[in-house]
Amino acid sequence: MAQQPLLNGNTPVSVKVKPADISGSEGLIREMLKKHKTPFMLIRKGTLEKQFNRFRKAFPEVTPYYAIKANPHPKIVKFFAELGASFDVASAAEMKLVLKQGVKPSRIIFANTIKSKEDLVTARRRRVRLMTFDNEPELYKIAESYPGAHVLLRIRVANRGSVVQLSLKFGAEPDQAVYLLRKAQNLGLAPKGVSFHVGSQSTNVENYLQALEITANIFKEAKENDMPLQIVDLGGGFPIQHFDNEIGINFERMAAQIRKQMKTLFSKNVKFIAEPGRFFVGPAGVLVVQVIGRAFRDNKNFYYLNDGVYQDFSGMVFDHCKYEFKTLRRGQKYMSALAGPTCDSLDTLSTNEELPELFVGDVIYVKNIGAYSCASAVANFNGFEPAKIILV
């Protein structure tokens, strides 16, 4: 028999352990429960490295800029820096965080199309020269605050099939591209290329293929107007599995199709970059929580956990994400509901999970939750803090 640690003064609950459970994620979870209070999130460095290497193997000619918005924990940033990654930042605060880990300014892109003057001044002082834009007023702001900055025009492209459709908020119309790039040049900036984003968690490879075709046409038109471009930014959106048996996601197959389009449409002297976030850090995360209360409501077991949508399940609200809930306890499964610890009824995680009967102190864990979880959590709502991050 193995016991769960004490939680908020509750009596520890015994859990029957099968020998097969002492391996993989569950074995690691049990070891960590001996040392740490829940909630905690395990970030597996081996998985971070695996995802980084998968990307480099699938896209050998593409320089990855880790989008730290996915998970900006300093140790994660430093780990990717040691692997040789570059970085995508969206603010001066993120910029300073990355630079603090010893990353050179030349390995950073300021990939927010709307930037405050103060953040632009910080970029100039810290010599972070490469950045994106998607509108004419932004160019005037950049030219005033950072003369000579290198700029990529972000264009609007199709986001069909993506979980989060970013083209609703960002991207210039492609037929305005050459005008805007020329405007940048006339304002003393250095137009370097084109950026796009097909939307987050995109499983439709056609979005990438069409975006590359549109970008190639812009490159051709710019060259005809004596304004040769050098960089194509593929953005992010590369999908991951959130459920063990999830189908329809094959990153390597998507990458092969994208690479073929890149080679067909662009010359060898064009530089390709990308901004993976979820793909790098999502599969590395395992969130471990515990049951702090139980009830019987609407003819089903109703379990209250010590983490919810205001904390590390924030991706369910902000990222439209769904997760697979697992438990260390075995037995007959029943229709169950899960809710977070706050006093807000929005803090309900699921009303139709099949789970064994659980007791106060029992553990629930979720894999593939390293991205857009703790990063978008609300600090201390109702006094509940996000999970402690532990790199293992």
Work out the pLDDT band at 110, boundaries 50, 70, 90.
very high
Domain end call among 251, 282, 313: 282
The range of the structural domain enclosing residue 361 comes to 2-43+285-391
Greatest Cα-to-Cα distance within the chain, rounded to the nearest angstrom: 75
Q: Is 151 helix (H, G, I), strand (E, B) or coil?
A: strand
The domain boundary residue, chosen from 249, 265, 282: 282
**Catalytic residue IDs:** 343
Q: How far apart are CA 213 and CA 216, in angstroms?
A: 5
Is 244 found in the same domain as 103? yes
Q: Same structural domain for residues 187 and 205?
A: yes
Angle at the Cα of 345 (from 295 to 40), degrees rounded to 5? 75
Give the pLDDT score at 21: 37
Q: Dump pLDDT digits (tens) for 331-381.
A: 999 999 999 999 999 999 999 999 999 999 999 999 999 999 999 898 889
For residue 7, what pLDDT is reported?
Answer: 37
Q: Are residues 363 and 262 in the same domain?
A: no
Are 125 and 257 contained in the same domain? yes
Average pLDDT over residues 238-261: 91
Total domains present in the chain: 2
Same-domain pairing of 156 and 128? yes
> Do 262 and 330 sit in the same domain of this protein?
no
pLDDT for residue 111: 97
Judgement on whether residues 86 and 208 belong to the same structural domain of the protein: yes
Q: By the 8 A CB rule, do 2 and 14 touch?
A: yes
CATH code where residue 241 lies: 3.20.20.10
What are the Cα distances from residue 116, in Å, to 138, 186, 375, 390? 10, 22, 21, 33
The answer on 187 and 325 residing in a single domain is no
- 17 and 150 together in one domain: no
pTM above 0.85, yes or no: yes
Q: How high is the pLDDT of residue 168? A: 58
Assess whether 57 and 166 both reside in one domain: yes
- Please indicate, yes or no, whether residues 155 and 53 belong to a single structural domain of this protein: yes
219, 337: one domain: no
Q: 14-56: per-residue pLDDT in tens? A: 333 333 333 468 999 999 999 999 999 999 999 999 999 999 9
